[in-house]
Chains A and B, each alone.
Chain A
Amino acid sequence: MIMMDESAELSVSITQIVQRLKGTHLHSQLEKQAKECLHKPEIKLETLKDDVRRFLKASGWERKLQNAVYRELHILPPPGHPRAPPEHTKEPLAYMRKAQVNWEKRILKSLNSMCTELGIPLARKRPVPEQKELTNKWNEMGTDEPDLSKFRPVYAPKDFLEVLVGLKNPNNERSEDLTVRSHWGLIQVSLNVRDIPQMREMYPELGITYGQLGIDDHTHVPPDLFESEHIHIGKKVESEQDSAAAQQYSRQGCPTGLRAQLWSLILNTSNDPEDITHYEQLKARVIHHDLLVDNLIYKDVKLTASNDDYYFVFEDYLYQVLLCFSRDTAVLEHFNYNCATPPKSCIQSKSGSEQCAVVYPPNGVIPFHGFSMYVAPLCFLYNEPSKLYSVFREMYIRYFFRLHSISSHPSGIVSLCLQFERLLQTHLPQLFYHLREIGAQPLRIAFKWIVRAFSGYLSTDQLLLLWDRILGYDSLEIVAVLAAAVFAFRSENLMEVTSLASAEAVLADLSTLKVMPLLQIFLFATSV
């Protein structure tokens, strides 16, 4: 009888996925293919269904459908109890929902006051001469030097950290003294986070007995030991166009020459005419309407990516992606499983005196300081703006959004911070105690790394190796583990510092770190 419940849940999932795939470009392509193959001699009327199915399988269309279903499974909201309201399915803990609502209110107030102070509307239609000018300048928006001094970022990661530190469960006993029960760290909520023995089971492919790109492709290691074979397998996976296999493969790293295709396969993004048209439509929207958040994006790129040795060359690409991203209403879908709510406004409709509710910005995401760093590393992989755009959008709606919304999800920022602190407390207790005593709570230093998934802090090749594993394991947990591993690596120097400033100086430059050896040592060589 238990089986019946599982199959009932399964049929609900199947119905949801079918409903989502119906009407997509893939659906019409499959129908077209099925119709066209009827002319082929091997399709017989008596065995029509089987023959068509066999044809679709042999021509690779079944694989495309499999990849599409696999992608839908990634973003399917978790199954909820029939009595549970939708906000409960997205985030069961009431006090976290409340904290998210309050945080959003603060952001709205900040944006509204900036808008009122500067006398600039949140959105307006561009006059035609301005539209023409922007169309001409589209590929070199970086040469523009607008006056951005009046604009300030809506919030920075450290503001968000203060909100997370203030998260308290009203049903939790929290006395003010440092007792056995109180937490040493900044995060005061008790979420289930994995410890090292559990992670060894979750991430076996990172173990010492498995080959890794990032370790076993070092110049001193002969390539026949691991690298050549791994590249050979990678080429096979890419030619098979199998999304699930690519995800599994990525756990041991993607070769530089195959990474772009493999990531695109894992995320199931394509560069069909349909995707290019969609991107061109977004570009047209950028030309027609000017948004206040555009200035925030300009400012963010100028402050972060343009100042970075690795990424300043991609400045123009970043504008081309982020300005379009703000106008993409397809992103609103991710609010089905994100407990955040998109900001809204009322505007007058032209015809009547009705007030219509609209979402602002159209994609519902307000960029914060450092947001452009989510896109910057991808510029190394994709040089066509529409392809770059599809990959970034998919990565955002699968992973990055969890880094700046309050939830109890295992890949959410709260769990990641708590996991970082717990790992340090368990395995480097002396270091944690010492840093706490000198007023240098480790999370205050590591938070900015975690929020950006280390973008802009590691060297690019190392960052891409890390993001290989985020995709491979479909989880951001590895980011928290790396943060703890970095502290473990520099623990000797950190034990000697006597102030927060000197602790930050020890950890200021991560550009020489090699990510995979650090992770491997921390996960598999730490004694438990």
Chain B
Amino acid sequence: MSAKAVSCTIKSAVALQIGDAVSDSSRPGVYITDITLAEPVNIQEISFKNYYSAYLTVRLQRREDSSAKWVTCLRNYCLMSNPHAEAGSHDYFSIHRHQMLTEPDNVTTVRLILRQPSSEWLNFSIEEISIYPCAKEDLERDVPAWLSTLTPVEEPLDLNGLPDPETVSSSIQQMWALTEIMQASQTAASIGRFDVEGSYDVKLLSYT
């Protein structure tokens, strides 16, 4: 997404443990992190970098009318297919709007619940969290009132068996983008020379 991330405050993770956190020798298997947003946002995407978390549950607090309601938008999303093995442990992930169980609109707080059942790992967390809002909303706000009255309200088109113009235009846009890339780019064939103007007197290798 080219949209900029919203600013948010990420609170430090709280471990959920049975028993006394200090004296107990076993490590927690659940961490909870809250992220508060400056103003209510319609979320398009949440992206982050994993660090050894196996499963992720996301809960959102939405502002509905005057009350705030908590809903679960993602339940036990698997980040590491085998919690005991390294696969997925350092990967980057994106959760998109369409993957969520409920509409992430007017969100004020995001709660991330991280689970790691394996005893292999000393710590686990989620890093570099970014939340991206829906793009359309901003554009609508920027258009001044007198401009919006100039464009008439569109009537629903009578398609008569023709394909939906939205899907056609999006697929054409994709193909156009592809052709643009291919025309603009150089070929990948390499020249193949390793010397500099005919000389290749290498003395020592450099440590970078």
Chain A residues within 8 Å of B, Cβ to Cβ: 1-2, 5, 11, 14-15, 18-20, 22-24, 80-84, 88, 92-94, 105, 108-109, 111-112, 115-116, 121-125, 169, 171-173, 181, 189-192, 281, 285, 289, 327, 329-330, 332-333, 343-351, 356-360, 362, 408
A343 touches B205 (CB 8 A): yes
B203 touches A350 (CB 8 A): no
A88 to B88, CA, bound (A): 12
A363 to B84, CA, bound (A): 38
A2 to B122, CA, bound (A): 35
Q: Is B143 an interface residue (CB 8 A)?
A: no
B182 touches A190 (CB 8 A): no
Which residue of B is nearest A357, CB measured? Answer: B206
A84 to B48, CA, bound (A): 10
Residues of A within 8 A of B208 (CB): 344
Which 8 pairs across A and B sit closest by C-beta, in order of nearness? A23-B187, A362-B194, A81-B92, A192-B85, A1-B98, A123-B202, A122-B202, A23-B189
A349 partner, pick from B52, B96, B196, beta carbons under 8 A: B196
A81 to B94, CA, bound (A): 8
Chain B residues within 8 Å of A, Cβ to Cβ: 47, 49, 51-52, 81-82, 84-87, 89-94, 96, 98-99, 119-124, 128, 174, 178, 181-182, 185, 187-190, 192-208
Distance between B52 CB and nearest chain A CB, rounded to angstroms: 6
B203 partner, pick from A15, A121, A191, A330, beta carbons under 8 A: A121
B205 partner, pick from A82, A111, A191, A362, beta carbons under 8 A: A111
Interface core residue of A23, A171, A285, A329 (most chain B CB under 10 Å): A171
Interface core residue of B87, B91, B123, B199 (most chain A CB under 10 Å): B199
B201 partner, pick from A94, A125, A172, beta carbons under 8 A: A125
Distance between B140 CB and nearest chain A CB, rounded to angstroms: 22
Besides A92-B91, A289-B195, 18 new A-B residue pairs in contact (Cβ under 8 A), listed by A number: A1-B96, A1-B98, A11-B178, A20-B188, A121-B203, A122-B203, A122-B204, A171-B122, A191-B85, A191-B86, A192-B85, A289-B200, A343-B205, A345-B204, A350-B198, A358-B200, A362-B194, A408-B86
A360 to B201, CA, bound (A): 10
Given known A-B contacts A81-B91, A330-B190, A347 and B200 have beta carbons under 8 A apart: yes
A105 touches B182 (CB 8 A): no
Residues of B within 8 A of A360 (CB): 202, 205
A333 touches B190 (CB 8 A): yes
Residues of B within 8 A of A345 (CB): 202-206
Chain A to chain B contacts (Cβ below 8 Å), 28 pairs: A2-B98, A5-B96, A11-B178, A19-B185, A23-B187, A24-B189, A81-B92, A83-B49, A83-B92, A84-B92, A92-B89, A115-B204, A122-B202, A124-B201, A125-B200, A169-B86, A171-B51, A171-B124, A181-B120, A191-B86, A329-B194, A345-B204, A345-B206, A347-B199, A347-B203, A350-B196, A350-B197, A408-B87
Which residue of A is nearest B175, CB measured? Answer: A11
Given known A-B contacts A344-B205, A345-B206, A22 and B188 have beta carbons under 8 A apart: yes
Distance between A126 CB and nearest chain B CB, rounded to angstroms: 11
B207 touches A108 (CB 8 A): yes
Given known A-B contacts A83-B92, A121-B201, A190-B120, A105 and B207 have beta carbons under 8 A apart: yes
B194 touches A327 (CB 8 A): yes
A408 to B90, CA, bound (A): 12
Given known A-B contacts A24-B189, A191-B87, A192-B86, A108 and B120 have beta carbons under 8 A apart: no
Residues of B within 8 A of A5 (CB): 96
A190 touches B86 (CB 8 A): yes
A356 touches B86 (CB 8 A): no
Residues of B within 8 A of A333 (CB): 190
